[in-house]
Amino acid sequence: MNGTGRLPLLEGVLAAVDLGIIVLDGARRVVLWNQWMSRHSGTAAAAVLGQDFATLFPELRGRRVDAAITQALEHNFPSLLSQTLNRSPFALFANASAAQREERLQQALAVTPLAVDGAPRHCMIEIHDVSIAVGREKLLRQQALELRSQSFSDGLTGVANRRHFDVAIDKELRRAKRNGSALSLLMIDIDHFKNFNDHYGHQRGDECLVRVASALSGMLQRAADLIARYGGEEFVLILPDTNAEQAAHMAEALRARVIALHIPHAASGVELKQVTVSIGVATRTLAHPAEAQELIGAADRALYEAKRGGRNRIATQAPA
């Protein structure tokens, strides 16, 4: 292909490429502004050709793009500017409505020195629209966060799950050991829940679990308190910085709260004939420095005692 044939071809390529191209001469005047730039900036080439870059983009003075141009023109160094460090430096928009909302395209930039015969070095600024990739990344991050929270919460009741409890109890026990503070554990079990399911059906059973979980978690006051679903109809509560007396007080309040829900339970063995809970309380203190398993074991024994004592009550056990 001869020289005259190549020029229109290059013009065609510059018009067709899906990226913005600006070329500056050695005095930082705009000597090329392709159609992509006109389309996304709303400014035609005629309005910018021959203009000084700093006059056209005063807001970019001192920014990394500016430094990259200096590197290219004065030191012959190319630069890549990722969108994470340089959020959308140019006022470029996908379309008119995005421009109205001032929603800039996400941009990744390359600034490259260009040797030009018989003239001082030029530089080319390439601007890639990375909005789709950035959007996809944001979505993935959101999904990852959601998955993470799902993997730590119980699907039915929305409270923490067993896995979350296992992590939290270890963390809170370490903290209690460090500070020499008390830590209480409450095991909460719905009374005669098998009868409830048999009488009202599994779906009403599920609804009952959701209401009880929500009532219990609504009683928690401190950020560090945690309620988790421990198994079927059993919940566990971690109460950091809470001694045995305070924990028993809390357990009584929780028991009363469940009664206040007034969920009928015609098949209950408890006289009240409504949904009730039994609660086992165990407390780790300096005098009883229990590990997780001992504390859980003590709360479990206390729960068994409350069940044996007639249900709809609390019982306390010191860790062995």
Binding site for ligand GTP (CB under 6 A): 156, 189-195, 197, 202, 205-206, 209, 232-233, 307, 311
Give, for 208, the enclosing helix (H) or strand (E).
helix 202-218
- In angstroms, what is the minimal distance from the CB of 242 to ligand GTP? 25
Strand ranges of the sheet holding 183-190, from the earlier edge strand across to the other edge: 226-231, 234-240, 183-190, 277-284, 314-317
Task: Read off the amino acid at residue 293.
Answer: Q
The DSSP result for 30-91, as a single string, is EEEE-HHHHHHHS--HHHHTT-BHHHH-GGGTTSHHHHHHHHHHHH---EEE-TTTS---S-
> Could you give the CA distance from residue 314 to residue 41 in angstroms, rounded to a whole number?
71
Nearest approach in angstroms of CB 245 to ligand GTP is 26
Q: Which two tokens stand for residue 164?
A: 């979350």
Cα separation, 131 vs 143, whole angstroms: 18
DSSP three-state, residue 109? strand
Q: Between residues 145 and 156, which has the closer beta carbon with respect to ligand GTP?
A: 156
Q: How far is the CB of 103 from ligand GTP (least distance, A)?
A: 45
Which residue is catalytic, options 126, 172, 233, 271?
A: 233
Kindly state the smallest distance separating residue 196's Cβ from ligand GTP, in Å.
7
Q: Does residue 233 have an active-site annotation? A: yes
Of residues 97 and 203, the one with the C-beta less far from ligand GTP: 203
**DSSP secondary structure code for residue 307 in this structure:** H
CB of 295 to ligand GTP, least distance (A): 21
236 vs 244, which CB is nearer to ligand GTP?
236
Number of residues assigned to the chain: 320
Active site positions, annotated: 233
